[in-house]
A and B are shown apart, each in its own frame.
Chain A
Amino acid sequence: MTPRIEAVAIDSLMVRLFDAIDEGNMPWILAASQRLREAFGQQLIDLVPSYTTLMVQFDLAPGEARQRIQHALEGLRPDAGQAGRRHEIPVWYHASVGPELPVLAARGGMSEAEVIRLHCGRDYPVFALGFAPGFGFMGLVDERLATPRLSTPRKRVAAGSVGIAERQTAAYPAVSPGGWNLIGRTPVRLFDREREGYSLLQPGDRVRFVAVERAEFINLGGDDSPLEAQA
């Protein structure tokens, strides 16, 4: 493992560990993230892990920062699983809050129940957070669920909406525009400024979606307003 280190801005370097998206990347990214945080300490301004890279922003001369990165990542080993938490996220899968649930079923020539079974059938690593605070890009979903983004994004997607884009899945932490195929909704608050760490999901965490009925969704604080009515 010899990472490439590239200049990206006056005070930022990109550490490139991989060339392709793979679930197996995440233990390496997590390990690198920990080492870089330790190596830079107070001189770290921000560290942005993503699918194959870590962007390091520092308060330090760039040459010195580059050396520090090289040194920190010598002999890098993948994280053995202590870092990163596993979350079970309840989802009410229903066409009224997830209008593409029937669409995905029809597309794949299967029942809605089968779509739900497949979506809940595996743990997804959180590759990166982005798009909005607490929005975790996860994957990869079963190939039979892979669906391109909507050709015209919705102007307004309800908070908690769970969606699929190609082979990735995510939940919208807040109301926002969005182009993912929606199949259900979670009552869980994904981003909370009062919470330690703010975001439920952190890069490298693993997520298992768990199907719940409408009654439980409501009990857990979910808002079952149909998507159109939330405008």
Chain B
Amino acid sequence: MSQLRVEASTALCLLQDAGRFGVRHLGVTQGGALDWVAMRWANWLLGNALDSAVVEIALGGFSVVAEQDCVLALAGADLDAQVNGQAVAPWTRFNLGKGQRLTLRQPRQGVRAYLAVPGGFVGEPVLGSCSTVVREELGGLDGQGRALVKGEVLHAAGAVVGQVRSHVPEALRPVYAEKPVLDLVMGAQIGDFGGTSLFEAFNRDWTLDSRADRMGIRLLGPQLVYQGAPMISEGIPLGAVQVPPDGQPIVLLNDRQTIGGYPRLGALTPLALAQLAQCMPGSAVRFRAVVQDEAWREQQLYLLRWR
């Protein structure tokens, strides 16, 4: 069974899977890989169940040494991955021989890379998931919600359910555009934004603020003005674009709070969220308004890639 010893890690290197479900009414956040598309491809390369636990590595600073010969897969951002100094292309499966070192140093394109092992990494499932949520002390290797640290040993579960592939076909890989257009399912309060707010929301660039984490990403741009009645706290879906009184939207991500009372433009689609997860602070995005049914159909079509 494959074993990897962590040689270097950061607070942004986390065990993740698809997240926790059926527990949102208890105030438990979702968690899970921010770029679910890349997580799936990493698992697909090894024939794993697509939601098997992976390591989410944001911005690099991560290194492991193989304690036995291992087969690994990487998808998502290009973080200058190398095996003993030799470049490893993202979106591929590769070998890491006993004693060899894999390093992911720094972003060359995108932000988050996903490392998979056969059968997924072994963690301590809590409330049905290994997803690490530091704030809630849930998930991760020991269930206590900690990021990976130097010296820890990562184990592969080993059970593979499907076919093994060498690489993700070029045509199927996501494109990390310089200025992605993010689909936003319009929500019920959208008509309560006044003046030129709606025009600006969908026709101007939004810049990713450095105030960003797994709970949410702040966007900087024109001030949006909400003119509706004050809201009572209600459930917050993944990708909700909420607008606090300063008029600068926040996209709520996997580790968001479960309820909240700021008005919302709507919610980004899962595909838009996967793109956003690969955008650096300071880069720009745009929103495109879509209706729920159309977004749902597009999502179903996209999921066929893994059939």
Contacts and interface: CB of A to CB of B under 8 A. Distances in A.
Contact of B188 (A14, A48, A61, A197): A14
Contacts of A50: 232-235, 259
A10 B299 contact: yes
A9 B232 contact: no
B233 A130 contact: yes
Q: Closest 6 A-B residue pairs measured CB to CB?
A: A55-B235, A48-B235, A9-B237, A9-B267, A6-B188, A130-B259
Contacts of A63: 293
Interface string A31-48: 000000000000001111
24 contacts: A7-B186, A8-B185, A8-B187, A9-B187, A10-B239, A10-B269, A10-B270, A14-B234, A45-B22, A46-B23, A49-B235, A50-B235, A51-B234, A55-B234, A55-B235, A55-B237, A57-B24, A129-B258, A132-B136, A133-B26, A133-B28, A133-B138, A193-B127, A198-B28
B187 A199 contact: no
B27 A130 contact: yes
Contacts of A96: none
Interface in A79-134: 128-134
B149 interface: no
B106 interface: no
Contact of B237 (A8, A191, A197): A8
Contacts of A52: 232, 234
A132 B23 CA distance: 12
B293 A135 contact: no
Most buried by A among B127, B137, B292: B292
A48 B25 contact: yes
Contacts of B260: 130
Interface in A181-231: 191, 193, 197-199, 202-203
A48 B259 CA distance: 8
A11 interface: yes
Contacts of A128: 233, 259
Interface string B264-307: 10110110000000000000000000011101100100000000
A53 interface: yes
Contacts of B237: 8-9, 11-12, 55, 57
A131 B26 CA distance: 10
A198 B296 contact: no
A83 B237 CA distance: 26
B268 to A, nearest CB: 8
B257 interface: yes
A1 B1 CA distance: 59
Interface in B115-143: 126-127, 135-138, 143
A202 to B, nearest CB: 7
Contacts of A129: 25-27, 258
B267 A134 contact: no
B199 interface: no
Nearest to B260: A130
A63 B292 CA distance: 9
Given A9-B187, A130-B27, 12 more contacts: A9-B240, A10-B299, A12-B267, A48-B258, A49-B25, A51-B232, A51-B234, A63-B293, A129-B25, A129-B26, A129-B258, A203-B25
A61 B293 CA distance: 7
Nearest to A13: B292
A174 interface: yes
A179 interface: no
Nearest to B233: A50
Contacts of A55: 234-237
B23 A9 contact: no
A10 B233 contact: no
Contacts of B138: 133, 193
B146 to A, nearest CB: 15
A62 interface: yes
Contacts of A134: 26-27
B238 interface: yes
A21 interface: yes
A10 B185 contact: yes
A133 B258 CA distance: 9
A46 to B, nearest CB: 4
Nearest to A51: B232
